[in-house]
Amino acid sequence: MSWKRSERLIDMTNYLLNHPRDLISLTFFAERYSAAKSSISEDITILKEIFELQGIGKIITIPGAAGGVKYFVTVKEAQVKPFIDDLCQLLANPDRLLPGGYLYMQDIIGNPQIMDQVGRMFASKFGDQEIDAVMTVATKGIPLAYATASYLNVPVVIVRKDTKVTEGSTVSINYVSGSTKRIQTMLLARKSLKEGSRVLIVDDFMKAGGTINGMISLLNEFNASYAGIAVLIEAEEVEDRLIDQYTSVVKLSNVDAREKKITVSEGNYFLT
């Protein structure tokens, strides 16, 4: 088959979207479409422009014999702001109030589109950094971790609060829950993280930051480090937070169970 430009562009768009942060040589595309490298270069110019214009992402050209192109997910403030506003409104719905001041969250966590958009945001913020894995704690953080990891093109590492026989040997640490001050245990399968990895920590909710602090302690056990901390919701009323550098999408300022009022605002995503 001889490929026309319009046909190549469709397939290249799909290919790039499925291979974020991979280095793809122009030769690869030239052979895939039996096209001249110069034609592929022109294709890339058009792709770059539209990806940028539409907030799909940025395409970086790496020159030289070992060069090629890399696609990075990005988000546009103009697209994300309305998304965050909608999310705030969704969260402020008093129907999600549960006994004890807890909030029902499964409608948000269970929505792959919301998870995907938040994953895009996190990948956009940290995509330029060297990241080997996304780490989270079971179970609510899992969807967000996968959404982020698929845009970063790295594996997901899941920390647990209970032991499973099917994980083999584990490394465990004790940590103090920031809000309840109770001592808890979390563990990670020894096989699931390579020594010296650089990790992005992702979670659905951060109050005092005890759980995230626990994950950082676990990282130390693997001689690993973290590139950043990203949470969907931060609780604002916390006095002595254990974590000071993080990115949040929304901020939960107040939950008034008596008045049935939940106060939510934009997080620090665009400030960090």
**Residue ranges binding a copy of itself (CB under 8 A):** 1, 5-7, 9-11, 13-14, 17, 46-47, 49-51, 53-54, 56, 98-100, 102-107, 110-113, 115-116, 138-139, 142-143, 146-147, 149-150, 153-158, 165-168, 189, 191-192
CB of 109 within 8 A of CB of 265? no
Nearest-approach distance from CB 246 to a copy of itself, in angstroms:
21
Nearest-approach distance from CB 225 to a copy of itself, in angstroms:
19
CA distance 69 to 24: 5
CA distance 16 to 28: 12
- Which residues, 6 or more positions from 96, have their beta carbon under 8 angstroms from its beta carbon? 103, 104, 105, 107, 262
Nearest-approach distance from CB 9 to a copy of itself, in angstroms:
5
Nearest-approach distance from CB 189 to a copy of itself, in angstroms:
6
CB of 158 within 8 A of CB of 145? yes
Burial of 65 (0-12, 13-18, 19+ CB in 10 A): exposed
- CB nearer to a copy of itself: give 124 or 192: 192
CB of 159 within 8 A of CB of 138? yes
- CB nearer to a copy of itself: give 92 or 138: 138
CA triplet 35, 15, 21: central angle to 5 degrees? 115
- CB nearer to a copy of itself: give 53 or 66: 53
Nearest-approach distance from CB 83 to a copy of itself, in angstroms:
13
- CB nearer to a copy of itself: give 142 or 212: 142
Burial of 265 (0-12, 13-18, 19+ CB in 10 A): middle
CA distance 187 to 170: 6
CB of 127 within 8 A of CB of 152? yes
- CB nearer to a copy of itself: give 17 or 92: 17
CB of 41 within 8 A of CB of 26? yes
- CB nearer to a copy of itself: give 189 or 200: 189
Nearest-approach distance from CB 39 to a copy of itself, in angstroms:
12
Nearest-approach distance from CB 212 to a copy of itself, in angstroms:
18
- CB nearer to a copy of itself: give 142 or 201: 142
